[in-house]
Amino acid sequence: MTNEPQTILGGIDPEIMGRLATRREAIRHGMSLSTAAAAGLAMGSIPVALAALSREAFAQTPNEILDVLRFAFILENLENEFYKAVLGTSDVAAQNTAFAPVRGQIPASARETFLLIQKHEQQHVNFLRAAIQSSGGTAVTITANDFDFTGGNGGTNPGPFVRATTELEFLLLATQAFEDTGVRAYKGQIPLLLNNSGNAAADMVLESACRIETVEARHASKIRRIRRQRNPGIVALRHSGYVLGGGLTAAGAGNISNPPPEVIAALTAIYSGEENTVQVVFDGTAERSIDAANLPNTDVIGNADRKRAAAQIAFDAPLSKDAVINIIKGFIKDDAARGLP
Amino acid sequence: MAARDGARQDTMIISNLGELMCPATRRNFLRTLLAGGTAILLPSVLTGCGDDNGVEPRQTTGLSFDLRTDGGIFRIVDLLELLEAFYYTEVVRSSNFSVFFSPEEQELFIDLRDAEIMHREFVREVLGAMKVPDVTMGSINTDRLSVLLSSRDNIIKTARNFEHTGVSGLNGASKFLSDRRNLQVTRNFATVEGRHAAALLDIPLARGGIVGNTDFAGDLVVDANGLDVKVEANDARGIFFRVASIGLLKAGTLAEPPVTNPPNPDKGAPTPSFPPPIF
């Protein structure tokens, strides 16, 4: 990877550019767009809009936005390389070998799901790399060698998540934990991307981060549903894909025998705060804190306990960057020079 | 209605707040006040709306949206949550609920109902006086509601349409909000809607049928950059198009066009959309 800032247009598939030009022509000539064509335009135009994200274009704080993008880039690489190792498509043979025992246990249906999720994570990696470069930043080169999916920080001994390489239920739990962490990480960062500067490219970054976030929520929902179908008795795993409650119980890890204390600690941290029912808004004059567990007109839900549970599932919760880094740093081999925690 | 009609309306008697929801009364009320006249609010004015006498609650008409403030954007969320919570409540209490759906699917819909009720009450608490009129009182197209409750297939498709309206609308609205706390809150429920949307795509239209292992986030709803659906309120296939497609509201409930003022340009500009299908 080059260290020189490069325009995103240089990296765009010529076919997309061609299609974009065709769409432009179509619009100029007043043609109406089919759904598929409109979708094509949306696809092509995001990189184009991002290309406007040059350093000069920023009047405000580019570093804050770049920091968010770089952080998200590390997270998406972690997820992407994890799924590639699980699926046996990693560029690093040792990663594929490590997951071989569990790979044979993955049902064909779940494998199809994993393949789609991995495709999305790769798209997110590509998208974020382009966004960082268009913003005048440098996207560091990250490979599967940078990760230790046992959570052992690259040490000699395997980390506490090593059972994900040999036990299907453990693997599915780890997958859910990655996805829910991803949702919470984006949720913590997205407000930092808000700008009211009228900068269209910065808006595109914000909107794209929101659109990645809901894709991660879809992934988390599906993995939770798969786990619930395999473990009907774990009611913390909802068929609705929600996170019910917070802390360890929200992980729904009751099917894992003798989980290592480090895993319990990690799961507790990943779902810490999900039980929160108090939401904060700004009404234009003052900040208000509203406890959703005490709202009126909710009797159809049931008693106070059911209302509290509903108030918990109805709102996902953010995690700060520091909290996320504490959760994931065991999976990443330290390299401060490249910004890897 | 107790408004006294006449060439010069110097006194107007209003016995019920609901009367002010009627455009003709409201016009007279304003005319009376502007003309220096007096409006008398009877004590009964605070006791409720026009459904006291067993009369059908009055239909909301001409509901419009000014998107220049966070509150204005939240009002669209309010409208959607009102409709969603109402619809899922009807689904869960309908006599065929346990016929159409397996116990696992019933759990899904009850969770859905509960979360949307929470969203509705939360948004209405946030908006206070700015909240939209309760369109589920008097503005529901009951014939259409019957159709949308009449089969498993219709219920699942309607739910998919609602949840994808929520996800795509919230994703598109993010850039127009002005306060980070308000953006945070919308994201806190946007991903919950995303979880719903995926779960609803993950159950088969026919009971006991099969569903694709990738349908929960397939190419219809995630684009080639790995980005989820997104619309603008006023897109040809945007929020109001989708609300109209679902068709739960009586004709005339919303103003035409429903958006009186788009977001201020200094907040941002519309971006190309990736609209979800109508399921």
B195:A127 CB<8 A:
no
Within a 10 A sphere around the Cβ of A119, how many other Cβ atoms? 18
**Tokens found for residue A29:** 């000539």
What pLDDT is stored for residue A172 in this prediction?
98
A203:B121 CB<8 A:
no
B188:A290 CB<8 A:
no
Pairing verdict, β A287-291 and A278-282:
antiparallel
B230:A211 CB<8 A:
yes
Q: Is the pLDDT assigned to residue B52 strictly greater than 70?
A: no
Q: Which of B118, B177, B278 is most worth mutating to test chain A (most A CB atoms within 10 A of its CB)?
A: B118
Q: Which of B213, B220, B229, B245 is most worth mutating to test chain A (most A CB atoms within 10 A of its CB)?
A: B213
B192:A281 CB<8 A:
no
How distant is the Cα of B168 from the closest Cα of chain A, in angstroms? 8
Quick check: A50 contacting B, CB < 8 Å?
no
What pLDDT is stored for residue A25 in this prediction?
37
Q: B117 with B170: CB under 8 angstroms?
A: no
Nearest residue in A to B210, CA atom = A109
Q: Which residues of B touch A240 (CB under 8 A)?
A: 107-108, 111-112, 115, 195-196, 199
ipTM of the complex: 0.85
Q: pLDDT category, B229, cuts 50, 70, 90?
A: very high
B184:A222 CB<8 A:
no
Q: What sign for the dihedral angle of Cα A309, A315, A319, A324?
A: positive
Q: Is the pLDDT assigned to residue B16 strictly greater than 50?
A: no
How distant is the Cα of B227 from the closest Cα of chain A, in angstroms? 5
Q: Which of B40-44, B72-76, B176-180, B254-258 has the lowest mean pLDDT?
A: B40-44
Quick check: A11 contacting B, CB < 8 Å?
no
Q: pLDDT category, B20, cuts 50, 70, 90?
A: very low
CB nearest to A194's CB, from B171, B180, B199: B180
What pLDDT is stored for residue B238 in this prediction?
96
A-B interface: how many C-beta pairs under 8 angstroms? 280
Q: Which residues of B touch A196 (CB under 8 A)?
A: 178, 266-268
Q: Which of A83-87, A132-136, B75-79 has the lowest mean pLDDT?
A: A132-136
Q: Is the pLDDT assigned to residue A34 strictly greater than 60?
A: no
Touching B: A residues 227-266, CB under 8 Å: 228-229, 238-242
Nearest residue in A to B105, CA atom = A239
pLDDT in tens, B77-124: 999 999 999 999 999 999 999 999 999 999 999 999 999 999 999 999
Q: Please give the Cα distance from A116 to A95 (Å, whole number).
A: 20
How distant is the Cα of B64 from the closest Cα of chain A, in angstroms? 20
Q: Which residues of B touch A241 (CB under 8 A)?
A: 195-196, 198-199
Q: Which of B123, B160, B184 is most worth mutating to test chain A (most A CB atoms within 10 A of its CB)?
A: B184
Instruction: Kindly report the average pLDDT of chain A as a whole number.
Output: 86
Share of chain B above pLDDT 70, in %: 80
Q: Is the pLDDT assigned to residue B246 strictly greater than 80?
A: yes
Give domain limits for chain B.
11-46, 70-245
What pLDDT is stored for residue A43 in this prediction?
47
CATH code: domain B70-245 is 1.20.1260
CB nearest to B223's CB, from A39, A217, A228: A39
Q: B213 with A119: CB under 8 angstroms?
A: no
What pLDDT is stored for residue A195 in this prediction?
86
CA distances from A13 to A9, A17, B274 (A): 9, 7, 20
Quick check: A60 contacting B, CB < 8 Å?
no
Q: Is the pLDDT assigned to residue A330 strictly greater than 70?
A: yes
Q: Please give the Cα distance from B231 to B278 (Å, whole number).
A: 13
Q: Is the pLDDT assigned to residue A101 strictly greater than 90?
A: yes
B191:A183 CB<8 A:
yes
H or E segment and range at residue B13: strand B11-14
pTM of the model: 0.85
Q: Which residues of A128-157 are buried (b: 16+ CB within 10 A; e: fewer)?
A: bbbbbbbbebbbbebebebbbbbbbebeee
Residue A34: which residues within 8 A CB-CB, separation 6 or more? none
Q: pLDDT category, B19, cuts 50, 70, 90?
A: very low
Q: Which residues of A touch B119 (CB under 8 A)?
A: 314
A183:B274 CB<8 A:
no
pLDDT in tens, B144-198: 999 999 999 999 999 999 999 999 999 999 999 999 999 999 999 999 999 999 9
Q: Is the pLDDT assigned to residue A214 strictly greater than 70?
A: yes
pLDDT in tens, A37-54: 334 344 444 554 455 444
Nearest residue in B to A233, CA atom = B104
What pLDDT is stored for residue A22 in this prediction?
39
Q: Is the pLDDT assigned to residue A2 strictly greater than 90?
A: no
Q: pLDDT category, B11, cuts 50, 70, 90?
A: very low
pLDDT: is A202 or B32 the higher one?
A202
A300:B196 CB<8 A:
no
- The DSSP letter of residue B38 is E
What pLDDT is stored for residue A46 in this prediction?
54
Q: Is the pLDDT assigned to residue B12 strictly greater than 90?
A: no
B108:A239 CB<8 A:
yes
